[in-house]
């Protein structure tokens, strides 16, 4: 089995050949369980979990985030990278591709675990072993920068909240997924006094805008893509401040404009975009 070459969706680089349509249009269902006092922390963690910048190194260059393997915090049965996977749904995280620290020169790809299921690491609220484990993953397995305590706390809060949903095990992908993650990053920014975490959350927003951008391909969506680029540049400028909180008013204005003026247009146009299974299928046939 070979990995599909990068094409019109960046995720095809780590998608098993023949799995493209399913990977592009379906995802494992997941529900979050948390109390109101930690809601914004969970949202910040969810946004960070979906941010390649968190991992750094080769993973970030390939636009891989934690969520690339753990879609919605679950697993990813379609994941496959030549040299890193033995079959779809597996990954070798001790490969030198990611980090020389954990590299063991052995092909030992393992099945990607579902984070909604109990694991070896305690997720008790009063036990910081999860934070330490996440820090090791970022720094040692993926050669990422040392995460701040606030970043680790947010990620751990999100992981602790992941649950499987009752009913359907799979749900459709939608532009609403990216919009929800933009909202999550924005809400997470409301409680951030830590500049490093705030900068990552800004990058999280820009990453989701990029994922939307690639789904609205073709001449009919040229205007939408231009607005997305401008939105990304505007939010990047806000993130250049060492203290994003100093520009909280501008950030709020950006978010209001995006939600009120642009998000509804994207949702309305979604049936004609690469979120639609038939559009993806037609694009794949054309590309081949």
Tell me the per-residue pLDDT of 31-56, one tens digit each, with 9 for 90 and over. 999 888 889 999 999 999 999 999 98
**Residue 75 falls inside a structural domain:** yes
Among 121-125, 132-136, 221-225, name the one with the lowest average pLDDT. 121-125
**Residue 2 falls inside a structural domain:** no
**Residue 231 falls inside a structural domain:** yes
Query: Model confidence over 214-253: pLDDT tens digits?
Result: 999 999 999 999 999 999 999 988 776 666 665 788 899 9
What is the spatial distance between Cα 138 and Cα 103, in angstroms, rounded to a whole number?
Answer: 14
Write down the pTM of the prediction.
Answer: 0.93
Contact 177, 73 (CB under 8 A): no
**Residue 70 falls inside a structural domain:** yes
Residue 286: count of CB within 10 angstroms of its CB: 8
Higher pLDDT, 168 or 73: 73
Which DSSP symbol is given to 110? Answer: E
Instruction: Over range 184-190, report the average pLDDT.
Output: 94
**Residue 5 falls inside a structural domain:** no
What is the spatial distance between Cα 141 and Cα 64, in angstroms, rounded to a whole number?
Answer: 13
pLDDT of residue 241: 61
**Residue 55 falls inside a structural domain:** yes
**Residue 30 falls inside a structural domain:** yes
The strand pair at 110-111 and 90-91 is best described as: antiparallel
Instruction: Over range 188-199, report the average pLDDT.
Output: 90
What is the spatial distance between Cα 2 and Cα 145, in angstroms, rounded to a whole number?
Answer: 31
Contact 142, 56 (CB under 8 A): yes
Per-residue confidence band for 108, with pLDDT thresholds at 50, 70 and 90: confident
Instruction: Over range 15-19, report the average pLDDT.
Output: 95
Q: Please state the φ and ψ torsions of residue 168, each to the nearest 5 degrees.
A: -60, 135
The strand pair at 110-111 and 162-163 is best described as: unpaired
Q: Please state the φ and ψ torsions of residue 22, each to the nearest 5 degrees.
A: -65, -45
Q: How is 120-178 classified by DSSP, letter by letter?
A: SS---TT-THHHHHHHHIIIIIS-PPPPPHHHHHHHHHHHHHEEPPSS-SEEE--HHHH
Range of the domain at 40: 10-287
Total domain count for the chain? Answer: 1
**Residue 208 falls inside a structural domain:** yes
């Amino acid at each position: 089995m070979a990995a599909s070459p990068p094409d019109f969706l960046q995720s095809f680089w780590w998608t098993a050949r023949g799995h493209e349509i399913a990977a592009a249009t379906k995802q494992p269902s997941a529900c979050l369980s948390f109390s109101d006092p930690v809601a914004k922390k969970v949202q910040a963690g969810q946004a960070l979990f979906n941010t390649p910048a968190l991992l750094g190194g080769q993973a970030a260059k390939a636009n891989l985030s934690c969520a690339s393997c753990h879609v919605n915090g679950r697993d990813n049965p379609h994941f496959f990278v030549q040299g890193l996977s033995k079959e779809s749904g597996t990954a070798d995280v001790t490969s030198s591709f990611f980090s020389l620290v954990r590299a063991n020169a052995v092909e030992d790809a393992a099945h990607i675990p579902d984070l909604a299921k109990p694991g070896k690491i305690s997720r008790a609220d009063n036990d910081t072993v999860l934070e330490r484990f996440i820090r090791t993953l970022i720094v040692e397995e993926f050669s990422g920068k040392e995460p701040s305590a606030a970043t680790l706390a947010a990620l751990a809060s999100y992981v602790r909240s992941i649950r499987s949903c009752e009913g359907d095990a799979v749900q459709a992908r939608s532009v609403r997924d990216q919009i929800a993650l933009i909202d999550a990053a924005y809400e997470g920014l409301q409680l951030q006094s830590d500049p490093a975490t705030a900068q990552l959350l800004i990058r999280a927003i820009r990453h989701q805008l990029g994922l939307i951008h690639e789904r609205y391909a073709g001449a009919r969506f040229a205007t939408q893509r231009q607005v997305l680029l401008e939105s990304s540049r505007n939010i990047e400028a806000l993130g250049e401040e060492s203290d994003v909180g100093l520009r909280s008013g501008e950030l709020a204005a950006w978010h209001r404009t995006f939600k009120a003026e642009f998000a509804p247009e994207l949702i309305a146009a979604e049936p004609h975009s690469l979120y639609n299974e038939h559009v993806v299928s037609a694009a794949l046939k054309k590309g081949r």
